[in-house]
């Protein structure tokens, strides 16, 4: 249906204990990884404020909650657009980077993530994607 943007099966994720535990473990891993790469990217950006790990961890917590709630109800390109804009606004607001600075920080964090994945593939033969999924 054209106007159906809400995912109908979102509640089935939490129907079993295994589903809940799997979700919580994935969430925790994603949260920690996001905090680490966001902190590294913010440290490369000289204008950023509140670059301590605790502040960055709270930012990552807020971002993962926004990700979870957005993708819980929306499952289309609209969700990605909303998440990216809200991510940039949250990073801008919490770390005083400016909107374009928040975009740069996000891109830097993603590039650092890709570099770590490539290093893990070269050194050990596995990726963080395997760990996450």
Give domain status of residue 7, yes or no. Answer: no
User: What contacts 74, CB < 8 A, 6 or more positions away?
Assistant: 5, 6, 7, 82
Give domain status of residue 6, yes or no. Answer: no
Name the DSSP letter for residue 125: S
Residue at token pair 């994607």: 129
Give domain status of residue 97, yes or no. Answer: yes
Question: Which pLDDT score, from 0 to 100, does residue 30 have?
Answer: 78
Give domain status of residue 72, yes or no. Answer: yes
Give domain status of residue 5, yes or no. Answer: no
Q: What's the longest Cα–Cα distance across the chain?
A: 48
- DSSP 3-state helix, strand, coil percentages of the chain (rounded to 5)? 80, 0, 20
Give domain status of residue 9, yes or no. Answer: no
Confidence band of 2 (pLDDT split at 50, 70, 90): very low
How many domains, the chain? Answer: 1
Q: Is the pLDDT of residue 129 over 80?
A: no
Give the domain extent around 23.
Answer: 15-132
Question: Which pLDDT score, from 0 to 100, does residue 11 have?
Answer: 61
pTM of the predicted structure, to 2 decimals: 0.71
Q: What is the mean pLDDT of residues 76-87?
A: 86
Give domain status of residue 66, yes or no. Answer: yes
Give domain status of residue 1, yes or no. Answer: no
């Amino acid at each position: 249906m054209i106007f159906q943007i809400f995912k109908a099966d979102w509640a089935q994720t939490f129907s079993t204990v295994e589903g809940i535990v799997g979700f919580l473990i994935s969430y925790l891993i994603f949260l920690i990884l996001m905090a680490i790469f966001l902190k590294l990217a913010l440290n490369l950006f000289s204008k950023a404020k509140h670059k301590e790990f605790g502040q960055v961890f709270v930012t990552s917590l807020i971002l993962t909650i926004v990700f979870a709630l957005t993708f819980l109800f929306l499952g289309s390109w609209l969700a990605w657009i909303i998440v990216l804009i809200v991510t940039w606004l949250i990073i801008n607001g919490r770390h005083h980077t400016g909107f374009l600075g928040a975009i740069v920080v996000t891109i830097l964090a993603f590039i650092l993530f890709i570099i770590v994945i490539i290093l893990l593939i070269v050194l050990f033969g596995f990726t963080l994607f395997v760990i996450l999924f």
